[in-house]
Amino acid sequence: MSDSDTPEPAGLEGLPPIFSIAKGEVVSVQTYGAFVRLPGYKKEGLVHVSEMSASRVENASEIVDVGEQVWIKVIGREIRDDKVKLSFSMKAVNQGTGRDLDPNNVMAEQDSRRRRHFRDHTGNRITLEAVLNTTCSKCGCKGHFTKDCFSAPGLQYALLPEEDDAEPQQQQQQPSTVSQQQDSDKKKKKKKEKKTKKKRKRERKESDSDSSSGSSECKSKRRHR
C-alpha cells in the first residue's frame, strides 16, 4: 500500500499534499541539505542532499543558495517526536519547467522505504567493541553475552590474542632481552678487568717485597765480611 492510500494522521492538516509539486524559496542551506518554504505554508521542508540531483552531491551549497527559487515535490510527511517533518525532492522535478519527472512516484516510494529501513536498524546496531567489552555473568570472562556462554561449571574461557597481535609483542620483547644480555656481559667484563688489575697489583707488591728482601740480605753479608 502506497503512502497516498494510507489515512492522513492527525496533526498533518494544513500541510501541502503528498506528492504535490510547488515552487518555494530556499531559506537555509546546511551541509546535509536545504530548507525550503512554500508560499501559503508556515512549515518548512527539507531537501536532503540525496534528493537534490541524480548525481552525488557532497554539500547542499554546491546546488542552491539562500533566497533561490526551486521546484520541489513533497515526498514525505510524518510526525516524529511530536514534530511534523516535511521531506521535499528537487531531482523529481524539472527545475526549468516544473514538470514531474517521477509521475508514478516510483523513486519517492523507494526513497521512503529506504528511510524507514534505515531508521528501524540504526537503533539496533551493536558494535563489535561493545561485545568484546561485555563481561559474562556466568563464567566471568569478556567477549560474549551470558546467553551465548558455552562454558561448563568450574571452567573459564578467555579470548586469545590474534597471531598478528602477538608477533609485535614478541618483537618488542626481543630488543629488551638483547639489551639486558649486553648489560650483563659488560658487567662481567668489568668484574674480570677488576680482578685482573688486583692480581697484577698483588704480583707487583710481591715482586717488590722479594727484591727488597734480597737487597737487605746482600747488605748484611757485606757487613759481616
Supply the CATH number for residue 52's domain: 2.40.50.140
pTM of the model: 0.49
Query: Residue 204: inside a domain, yes or no?
Result: no
Check residue 91 and give its pLDDT. 95
Domain that holds residue 58: 20-115
Q: What letter does residue 99 receive in the DSSP assignment?
A: -
Residue 58 in this model has a pLDDT that exceeds 80: yes
Q: Of 48-52, 88-92, 131-135, which range is least confident?
A: 131-135
SS3 of 207, please? helix
Could you identify the residue written with the cell 514538470?
A: 99
Provide the mean pLDDT of the chain.
76
Max avg pLDDT among 91-95, 142-146, 185-189, 219-223? 91-95
C-alpha cell at 32: 546535509
When comparing pLDDT for 71 and 119, which is higher? 71
How many domains is the chain partitioned into structurally?
1
The pLDDT of 19-24, averaged and rounded, is: 96
Query: Residue 104: inside a domain, yes or no?
Result: yes
Query: Residue 63: inside a domain, yes or no?
Result: yes
Query: Residue 82: inside a domain, yes or no?
Result: yes
